[in-house]
Structure 1
Amino acid sequence: MSGWRLLLTRPAEECAALAATLADAGIHSSSLPLLAIEPLAETPEQRSLFLDLDRYAAVVVVSKPAARLGLERLDTYWPQPPLGPRWFSVGAATGALLEDYGLDARWPAGGDDSEALLALPAFREALAGHEPRVLILRGEGGREWLGEQLRARGVQVDALALYRRYCPDYPPGTVHARIMAERLNGLVVSSGQGLQSLSELAGEGWAELAGRLPLFVPSPRVARLAQELGARDVVDCRGASAAALLAALRDRPAPA
């Protein structure tokens, strides 16, 4: 795997953690964070949702920022976590934050995505009661597909946006210059929004990059979006974790 030289595009803190794991495996990476996190101010409606936690069959936490910010509010409003809801995360890293807090959290082992969560037996069991309600802790506009799928199954869904993601400002040509300077031969994105930011920042050079470099994505949905944006070599890691990326890298040789 040491032939890989990857461009990482996650938020800065996550880029640093992933880069360290890749370095331990002998893989060079270059971090260009294309998502920054900004907590959102709490509204009265959002406060009301959190005070009603005990009325939900399940709480789904979709990311590490959602876990950190959601647990801060849990501390504020619930000295003891309510007994009603069961807690779920989309991925293991987010789930670990919930467990460290003391919650009995579950997550799918077969993939860090909404599809895997919907197939999780424990999640289905939690929603088996009469008129189940689910609260999704997320970023602004995140995991819309998950909410749509649950509503189609007769579940009442509330979404609580705790933060927004935005792309930091970079000079034009930054992506191409970084790839050329460090001889990078693979691109890594962790979400559809990150992919969109990468394509926009690459500008006119995106078509060439998307046609030449392998693009590692976390889920089938992001893979479909990448193909719609013209990426020719899309690798679905079936998860956004470092372990999922490393497994995908092991399955294919690095480009010359």
Structure 2
Amino acid sequence: MTGWRVLLTRPADESALLAETLDEAGVFSSSLPLLEIAALPFGDAQRALLRDLPLYRAVIVVSKPAARMAVHLLEQFWPRPPEQRWFSVGAATAQILAEHRLEVFCPEQGDDSEALLELPQLREAIAPSAARVLIIRGEGGRELLAERLRGQGASVDYLELYRRDLPHYADGALVQRIRAERLNGLVVSSGQGFEHLRQLAGEAWPEVAQLPLFVPSPRVAEMARAAGAEKVVDCRGASAAALLTALREQPVPVL
């Protein structure tokens, strides 16, 4: 796989870890973070949700940043967390929670809300009438998970802890990086990451859209194709293993 030269766009710390794994597999990578995590103000409404934590039959954490912030808050509010089931969309998020001695479940296949909704443990948790569910996430985001849970009779609350900003870059920074380092692939980890990629590309998007784009899910793949990306590869997961598998299966483009 030494022919691949890919651009990583995750937050800086996550890109660094991913770059190490790719390097071990012989894949060159360059990091241009397109998501910057900024904590939201923490006020009375958020404190009330945390005080009511034992009332929730299930707590769902949708990202690694949300998991890290949630663990930090638990240390302050619940040094001994209530006995309840926690859920995550991906395995990496689950690991952060499990290290805090929480009982956590996540899908074995797929890193998205659709896979999570199929978990038997989640269905069991929300089976009682009007079961309460807390979703811990960043500002905004998909509503599918809450909509489906409410459709099954659950009551859903959000605890939003951060927002995802696009870091400031000079005009043309994306295309300059691609050309200077002869990159032949792009990697995004979320729908918002893709939107930031397109935003940063600006008028050069038609050129950027010609490169193979590796995405974590069918939803993001659909977004990218609708925006004009010419070769979209659905990795069926956001993990390093999923990306490496996709890279192995795809021919290296001749640029």
Q: State the TM-score, normalized to the length of structure 1.
A: 0.96
Give the share of equivalent positions with the same residue, in percent: 61
Q: Do the aligned partners of 1:62 and 1:143 also contact (CA within 8 Å) in 2?
A: no
User: Structure 2 regions of 5+ residues with no counterpart?
Assistant: none
* Preserved contact between residue 213 and residue 233 of structure 1 (Cα < 8 Å): yes
Taking the aligned partners of 2:244 and 2:133, their CA distance within structure 1 comes to: 33
Q: RMSD of aligned C-alpha atoms?
A: 1.0
- What does residue 185 of structure 2 align with? 186
For residues 142 and 101 of structure 2, what CA distance do their matches in structure 1 show? Answer: 25
CA displacement 1:146-199 (0-9 Å, x = unmatched): 222222222211111111110011011111110111111111001111111110
- CA distance in structure 2 between the aligned counterparts of 1:147 and 1:130, rounded to whole angstroms: 16
Give the aligned length. Answer: 254
Secondary structure in structure 1 of the residue aligned to 2:162: strand
Partner in structure 1 of residue 244 of structure 2: 246
Aligned runs of 1:148-167 on 2, under 5 Å? Answer: 148-167=147-166
Deviation at 1:104, TM superposition (A): 1.4
Letter in 2 for 1:176: V
Aligned-partner residue type, residue 94 of structure 1:
T
Q: Distance in 2 between matches of 1:223 and 1:133?
A: 32
- 1:99-114 correspondence runs (5 A): 99-114=98-113
Q: Quick check: 2:129–2:153 contact (8 Å CA) kept in 1?
A: no
Is the contact between residue 87 and residue 105 of structure 2 (CA under 8 Å) also seen in structure 1? Answer: yes
Aligned equivalent of 1:115: 114
Secondary structure of the 2:80 match is: coil
Equivalences for residues 144-223 of structure 1 within 5 A: 144-210=143-209, 212-223=210-221
Q: Any idea what SS the aligned residue of 1:235 has? A: strand
- Inter-partner Cα distance in structure 2 for 1:31 and 1:55: 42
Q: Does the 8 Å CA contact 1:216/1:234 hold for their aligned counterparts?
A: yes
State the alpha-carbon separation in 1 of the partners of residues 74 and 198 from structure 2: 37
Q: Are residues 1:139 and 2:141 paired?
A: no
Deviation string, structure 1 residues 86-129 (Cα, Å, up to 9, x no partner): 10111011100111111111100101111110111221121112
Alignment pair present for 1:54 and 2:54: yes
Which consecutive residues of structure 1, in runs of 5 or more, have no partner in the other structure? none
Q: TM-score, with normalisation over the residues of structure 2?
A: 0.97
Structure-2 residue corresponding to 1:236 = 234
Q: What SS is found at the alignment partner of 2:161?
A: strand
Q: What is the DSSP-based 3-state SS (H/G/I as helix, E as strand, rest coil) of the residue aligned with 1:101?
A: coil
What SS does the aligned partner of 1:146 have?
helix
Aligned amino acid, residue 68 of structure 1: R
Shift of 1:248: 1.1
